[in-house]
Structure 1
Amino acid sequence: MSSIPSARDVAALLEKWSPQHLAMEGDPVGLMLGSLEKKVKKVLVTLDVTEAVVAEAVEKRTDLIISHHPLLFMPLTEVDTSTPKGRVIQQCLQHDITVYTAHTNLDIAPGGVNDWLADAMEIKATKELVPTKKDQLYKLVAFVPEEDTDQVRWALGDAGAGHIGDYSHCTFNSEGTGTFVPGDETDPHIGNRGALTYVAEKKIETVVPESKLTQVLDVLGRAHPYEEPAYDLYPLGLEGESYGLGRVGTLATSMKLEKFASSLKEIFTVEGLRVVGDLEQTVQTIAVIGGDGSKYWQQALAAGADVLVTGDVKFHTAQDAEAAGLALIDPGHHIEAIMKQALADRFAQDAQASGYQMKATASTVDTEPFTFL
């Protein structure tokens, strides 16, 4: 049975694979404006929240705008509706449009912006360029009546517990006896109020990464038959998946820098780009960081990259990189617009799997401020 999700439900779809805790420190992500409790039938995905984008959202009767660049990057001291920012806020509030942002968490998340960029350039065998964090692992130990263990095991595994390498739903199980006395205000699944109850139970042990912990515990509470599930949680001296900004990988075949740079004009639909380095040099190992990533050129060099693709390259940064032997290609910050259709498609897929009556579309407004002459 399908249902109309709330903005909170839609945000939860995103945060299952692009959680807020992945964002860089100080980066404003999450709810920007409006309410997460409102019902959402239409979502508009955009790179930026501008007056033109809001006008499009109003025309399409959008309930929720999801942007990559934050609407409110700096704290506001006033909302002056005679300014562009003030008019955006006014129009969103007037038309009851909630605004939600996924910024560097969407850059860092596996399957997010930097992977979409790498895929578009056909870069293979990618890994993160600038490590930002590693997932802490926890051991979850749950005590479940024997007849309910299968449903709980499957629910935990589906929520992200017990994933080791290419294996999923990994658990260890042992048998025992649980005891409890239901209180006067309880509605026990097994046993009677005030009576000591003995239950044949299984202890399910599984590994949970920190990024999945909240949703796994939530699922445990819903899948477990007891009103108050019994469980233990232990931090482990092990690290899980590594996360980071940017990607570095290789092309299937090497090519001249000029040919590779020219291919990016078509891939990202840009009229021009800036190139640093010998156009005749051969490149094969490629690093990419969406947005403004030129400050990480030394990490790209250390990773063995022949060229770094990123936006907003400064003059002296370009000189330093060139002197060190690293080529740079600057197709502009706006190539992150690749996220619009990619994220809309992901929402459509996840909403259908969750049984949500929700339509997600990519904004057709071009927010690129530069014109090449």
Structure 2
Amino acid sequence: MTTVGELHTLLEQRYPAGSAESWDRVGLVSGNVTAPVHGVLLSVDVTDAVIDEAIELGADLIIAHHPLLLRGVNTVDPRRPKGRMISRLIRSDLGLITAHTNADIPAGGVADSLAAALGLSETRPLRQVPVYPADQLVTYVPVDHTDAVLDALSAAGAGAVGTYQRAAFTVTGTGTFVPGPGARPAIGRPGRREQVAENLIEMIMDRRLRNQVIAALLDAHPYEVPAYHLTEVARPADLAGTAGMGRIGRIAETSLAGFADQVAAALPKTASGIRVAGEPDRMINTVALQGGAGDDLLDVAREAGADVYLTSDLRHHPASEAIAWDGAPALIDVPHWAAEWTWLPRLRDQLVGELDDVSVKVSEINTDPWTFRV
């Protein structure tokens, strides 16, 4: 039976919390890691209505894109919105996991999902993510305990190589040691030389995960004092070129007005609709995009040669300056919720493909804050 902790580990493998922006707050928010999960509800936001839907469905867990606790709170007073929602989650035994900026950049994440929904081909990251330094972990484990230690290291993030998990090299040899006075060895006695059939394990890991991986090693290893060492290594760039902020790709040539119609048809309907800056008959072939608020990539989209840049929450001054450049791309501003909602069906398919005992549903609630326009 799948538990909250196991589902959290699965999400961590696809969307590592360590890859989130430093200001972000992602991961397990509420729920007992040992609690069973029979049903999951996916949503962009956590709202009272989403919690109602989860309860009505009999779900055990909500996976949301936007963090409920992005900004610090100092009370769970139920008279306040966040306090009320946190209290309801706890009282209803509803777990909550969020994946925000860590879900934006990888293959199969928010940017890829939005690009696919709009029909882009030949896509690549609009801005490549920084190449994070890596460590190589080497440790020595009794043969009978190797699988358990490998599982623990993998759950902590070691051995993630591209789309592969639990990647490791092992070789069997003989470990020898003499426990000193006062030692409490798992194998052998103090003062006596011991020889044990051990596996040498090598795994690559993101250096930012160093502390949690070592903590997992110390917790899972049967020895009182495990032997291990780390070597700092350079991590090559992502050869597949699939990870990064935003996406840029191509569509069959059409007018800006025609592409705007395609966008409107592809995204969930909202009261605010979409806004366009540019001549309606301008021809469009190269499209850049970023799910969520993306005015930080306006210059990147122009320098990449995009004909149009699609994102959300564009402000007056950055947008005005962006379209004033010679050769500037047209702009399409889409509702934040609608753009990021495109990830939820793909996430559902990912989870259903991994879990055969859990029902996964995409929330039908429109959590865009705007309800009508005049």
TM exceeds 0.5?
A: yes
Alpha-carbon distance, 1:216 to partner? 7.2
The 5 Å alignment of 1:205-284 reads: 205=202, 207-210=204-207, 230-241=227-238, 243-251=243-251, 253-270=252-269, 272-284=273-285
Q: In the alignment, what sits opposite 1:315?
A: 316
Between the aligned partners of 2:163 and 2:349, the Cα distance in structure 1 is 27
Alpha-carbon distance, 1:114 to partner? 0.9
The 5 Å alignment of 1:1-373 reads: 3-5=1-3, 7-143=4-140, 161=159, 163=161, 171=169, 177-181=174-178, 185-188=184-187, 195-198=192-195, 203=200, 205=202, 207-210=204-207, 230-241=227-238, 243-251=243-251, 253-270=252-269, 272-324=273-325, 325-335=328-338, 336-352=340-356, 357-370=357-370, 371=372
Question: Relative to structure 1, is the Cα distance of residues 220 and 70 closer, same or farther in structure 2, using a 3 angstrom cutoff?
Answer: closer
Alpha-carbon distance, 1:259 to partner? 1.6
Alpha-carbon distance, 1:182 to partner? 5.6
2:331 partner letter? L
More deviation, 205-214/86-95: 205-214
1:307·1:328 contact (CA, 8 Å) conserved in 2?
Answer: yes
Alpha-carbon distance, 1:221 to partner? 7.9
More deviation, 279-288/193-202: 193-202
More deviation, 199-208/357-366: 199-208
Between the aligned partners of 1:176 and 1:131, the Cα distance in structure 2 is 41
Between the aligned partners of 2:311 and 2:274, the Cα distance in structure 1 is 11
1:117 partner letter? L
More deviation, 132-141/65-74: 132-141
SS at 2:73 equivalent: coil
Between the aligned partners of 2:209 and 2:77, the Cα distance in structure 1 is 40
1:109 partner letter? P
Q: Deviations over 1:280-314 (max 9, x none)?
A: 22222211111111232111112222211111122
TM-score, structure 1 normalization = 0.80
Alpha-carbon distance, 1:78 to partner? 3.5
Question: Relative to structure 1, is the Cα distance of residues 221 and 282 closer, same or farther in structure 2, using a 3 angstrom cutoff?
Answer: farther
Between the aligned partners of 1:102 and 1:237, the Cα distance in structure 2 is 27
2:158·2:204 contact (CA, 8 Å) conserved in 1?
Answer: no
SS at 1:32 equivalent: strand
Question: Relative to structure 1, is the Cα distance of residues 93 and 221 closer, same or farther in structure 2, using a 3 angstrom cutoff?
Answer: closer
Alpha-carbon distance, 1:127 to partner? 2.8
Question: Relative to structure 1, is the Cα distance of residues 282 and 141 closer, same or farther in structure 2, using a 3 angstrom cutoff?
Answer: same
RMSD: 3.8
Between the aligned partners of 1:41 and 1:365, the Cα distance in structure 2 is 21
Between the aligned partners of 1:363 and 1:165, the Cα distance in structure 2 is 27
1:344 partner letter? R
Alpha-carbon distance, 1:268 to partner? 0.8
Alpha-carbon distance, 1:88 to partner? 2.3
Alpha-carbon distance, 1:112 to partner? 1.0
Between the aligned partners of 1:216 and 1:144, the Cα distance in structure 2 is 15
Task: List alignment gaps of at least 5 residues for structure 1.
Answer: none
2:281 partner letter? E
Alpha-carbon distance, 1:256 to partner? 2.0
2:359 partner letter? K
Between the aligned partners of 2:75 and 2:220, the Cα distance in structure 1 is 46
More deviation, 224-233/30-39: 224-233
1:339 partner letter? W
1:128·1:244 contact (CA, 8 Å) conserved in 2?
Answer: yes
Between the aligned partners of 1:292 and 1:246, the Cα distance in structure 2 is 11
Alpha-carbon distance, 1:222 to partner? 9.9
SS at 1:10 equivalent: helix
Question: Relative to structure 1, is the Cα distance of residues 359 and 280 closer, same or farther in structure 2, using a 3 angstrom cutoff?
Answer: same
Between the aligned partners of 1:92 and 1:301, the Cα distance in structure 2 is 44
Between the aligned partners of 2:130 and 2:364, the Cα distance in structure 1 is 34
Question: Relative to structure 1, is the Cα distance of residues 125 and 197 closer, same or farther in structure 2, using a 3 angstrom cutoff?
Answer: farther
2:149·2:217 contact (CA, 8 Å) conserved in 1?
Answer: no
Question: Relative to structure 1, is the Cα distance of residues 248 and 349 closer, same or farther in structure 2, using a 3 angstrom cutoff?
Answer: same
Task: List alignment gaps of at least 5 residues for structure 2.
Answer: none
SS at 2:233 equivalent: strand
